[in-house]
Chain A
Amino acid sequence: MNTIALVQFLQRGKPEGKESMTLTLDQAAQATRKRPPRLPRKRRSQAGLKYGFAFVAPFAVLYLVFVLYPVLQAAQMSFFDWDLLGSVREFIGLENYERMLWGVDIQWSITNLFWWRIGVLALVAVLLVGPIKRRHISVWSVAGVLGLLGVFVALGFAPGKDGYWYDPTFWIALQNTLLFTAISTPIIALLGLVMALALQGQRRGSRWYQMAFFLPYILPVSVVTLIWTYFLSPGQGLLAQILTPLGIDPIPWLSDSNTALTAVIITTIWWTVGFNLVMFAAGLQDVDKSLYEAASLDGAGPWRKFVSVTLPGIRHVILLVMVMQAIASFQVFGQVNIMTGGGPGTSTEVLIRHIYQTGFRDFELGYASAMSLFLFALMLIVSVVQMRFLGKDDTK
């Protein structure tokens, strides 16, 4: 704040007397005299930049080397036939992308995935309701509508009678990944919130419960999957031993394609819900207590308080949890790789596992990079959409 602004501020704050104003101006003048000589604007700016760079340099270097560089190299590799072990590095343009997204005799049909696409159109309609009412459409709404229409068109492509996708496993893995994310993200987030609410306040033992629920989160994936594989085993598992006396036959959770993904989701919930619980618990502590008192005075019940005070108060935590959880779910790998190996059949095959196998088992780093970038773009879009919708501040 420069001197004139300071004076103006003080004038606004103390408008009542000349004396006070004079005193304030004297003080301001003294303060100005005590300061070191001012640098020219340009030099100041450069000095600030220098310190700014110095402060961010440690992070920036690591970020460049371990994040930006791999992403840029993956982008470069995706245009190559890049062998993990050999010296073959042939530029092949967009062939990896074609292999990922295209096939032989691919045709467009209005009936393909009909109901899913009707759902997409319904979403378009929902997006347009607000702008039509306001008679004004924002850039975000235009982008959303165009994006959904793009999805609508893309879902119309499918192999013809004698056709096939070049990489059908990619589509199966994408479908399973989306399913896993769509199911696990809201459940884990909601359960975390419910548990945080249940343990809210100074209830006896709530800290212990928080620790107990958080404990699985610190376990490595190998331990978690081992525990659950044993627990769910139809032969010697604890669950089977509990259910058998109740007359329920042991369920082969991991070897039945109808239950395998469910088992992986349950394992993931147990493993990670504690983290969200802690996040929400921290968020709940930050909600202004006086708002609850005010709401009580206005006659609000628990539900009304939750909807009108708690939820707006933890809006940013909800956004953070949802974005982080969605990103984590898109990257599901360890549980699937150890518990089911992507099976039975392809019922739990997920994108990261397919990328891993393509790159490290089949040595095709170029194609694996192309799929990684696709997943990166997908996660980016989902995160932006979540931030756009959940991050909107209605209080303004």
Chain B
Amino acid sequence: MNGKRIPAVLATVAAASMLLAGCGTGTGTGTAAGDDDMTAKIEAVTDEQLKGTSITMSRMFGDCEETTKGVTDLAMAASECEAIQILTNKFNAENEHGISVERLGGADWNSYYDAFNASIAGGEPANIANLHDYALSDYARRAQLVSFDPAALDIDMDDATEQAQNSVTYDDKTFAVPFDSHAILAHVNTDVLGAAGYMDADGRPVMPTNADELMAMGQAVKEKTGKPLMSVGFANDDMAWRMFYSFVRQQGSDLIVDGEANVDSAEAKAAMELLQELIDNGYIHTKADYSGSIEEWKNGESAILVNGTWGVNEYASTATFGYTVTDFPTIMDEAAVWASSHMWVLPVQKDNDPVKYRASLEFASFLYENTSVWATATGHIAPRVSVVESAEYPNAPERANYTDTALENISFVPQVENWTAIKSLIHKQLEEVWFNGKDLDSALTEAQQRVGQELK
């Protein structure tokens, strides 16, 4: 072979082999794991087979190895991370089958999906993983999750709230075990609201029930205290979007109806106009990001913080002013509030080992049994009616003040393919209105058109 041709030939061979290799890489593990046959195999796994099985777990909620190493006392849990880690420790120490759970990383919620997707694309996902309700369909649709029959595995799904039951199913099959729900609430500085005359004789906030009352409340707070009514994360944060979505749902509408975009609707416009009126009157402002909004409210610079259930415990224990929490106010026609949830799923494995699937379900079942611990430690709402209605639940800080949210009001976002991208398309148009002065009608029309494109 002529020496000059060697590099060319080598490069060609390398390129061709890599391209061919490229055609064969990736996933494609989702074979037969979700069918009835596998469900039967999972149910048929015996106690003997389960003995000493080790499984891997991928989750969000961060890392807290140092404070939880060897801890199995659930009363010690004071944060999301500590609660889930201590629950895991307890399961490892006490489960009757000797199953051991090894955690693979603990990312924050917004960066979690990158690692989770990478693990699936690489063909090596953890045996058990946690997801949000809106993400379930993306993975179930791609046959990347194992379905199962909860009743056959003694998981009492009938005790779950109706919303929780709906959120774990896709195409009439159950793909997840619910762990919690979380919604936005009104976190109240009772000192500021009291100064505005909006605390009743029982020491509870007098919350508005329609738009006029909301504006009157904003005006009173502004006039009597010189402060805005609410602190809301607008910049690089979802809180304002969540308020918008809550107002849409309070009118009985949604952004996706029967699989079609419904963004350019009278209800969406009314929701945005209500927010705009609050902004124009100075009752809320768009300058704060998530931490900025909390800081502002914690410094006593506003009456109400719009934030999630996850803040309740922290604010109850650290607030330097009178603190209480209420359901997010119903301003439109019916009670509804944006909500999401955490759940446990079983990613499809290459080897499709029913024993590992069963071991993972045993752990998921344990977590489901202990949702009260999780809810008490984190402020999240337990997905089980029996827990929310139990005698102990109201003993945790402020829980009695948002049972309506827990049992009735929570409204999950539509379970459609690629909701995160759809939500981003809508949110960006709303931001164009809030930050760049875009005409509301044009923004909703463009959002409608973009979401319609995405849904095709």
Contact = CB atoms under 8 A, between A and B. Distances in A.
Interface of A: 45-46, 49, 53, 64, 68-69, 72-73, 76-77, 83-87, 89, 164, 166, 168-169, 233-236, 252, 254-257, 339-341, 343-347, 357, 360-363
Q: Is the interface of B mostly helix, strand, loop or mixed?
A: helix
Given A235-B296, A252-B287, A343 B449 contact: no
Contacts of B141: 86
Given A234-B287, A252-B235, A73 B22 contact: yes
A172 B435 CA distance: 16
Given A73-B22, A166-B453, A255-B287, A83 B436 contact: no
Contacts of A346: 428, 431-432
Nearest to B301: A235
B19 interface: yes
B396 interface: no
B424 to A, nearest CB: 8
B102 interface: no
Given A69-B18, A164-B449, A361-B113, A255 B234 contact: yes
Interface of B: 3, 6, 14-15, 18-19, 22-23, 26-28, 30, 113-114, 117, 120-121, 138-139, 141-144, 234-236, 286-289, 291-292, 295-296, 299, 418, 420-421, 424, 428, 431-432, 434-436, 438, 446, 449-450, 453
Residue in A46, A85, A164, A360 with the greatest tally of chain B CB atoms within 10 Å: A85
Contacts of B114: 360
A255 B142 CA distance: 37
A344 B28 contact: no
Contacts of A86: 27, 30, 141-144
20 contacts: A46-B3, A68-B18, A73-B18, A77-B22, A85-B138, A86-B27, A86-B141, A87-B28, A234-B287, A235-B292, A255-B286, A256-B287, A257-B436, A340-B235, A340-B236, A343-B236, A344-B235, A344-B431, A346-B431, A347-B435
B421 A361 contact: yes
Contacts of B428: 169, 343, 345-346
4 A-B pairs with the lowest CB-CB distances in the bound complex, closest first: A255-B235, A344-B435, A252-B287, A345-B431
Nearest to B289: A255
Given A69-B18, A85-B27, A255-B235, A45 B117 contact: no
B419 to A, nearest CB: 11
A89 B6 CA distance: 33
B434 A344 contact: yes
Given A69-B15, A86-B27, A89-B23, 10 more contacts: A64-B14, A72-B19, A77-B22, A168-B450, A233-B291, A234-B287, A234-B292, A235-B299, A254-B235, A343-B235
Contacts of B446: 164
Contacts of A256: 287, 435
A204 B113 CA distance: 51
Contacts of B431: 343-346
Contacts of B144: 85-86
Which residue of A234, A345, A360 has the most chain B CB atoms within 10 A of its CB atom?
A345
Nearest to B15: A72
A254 B234 CA distance: 11
Contacts of A83: 142
A49 B3 contact: yes
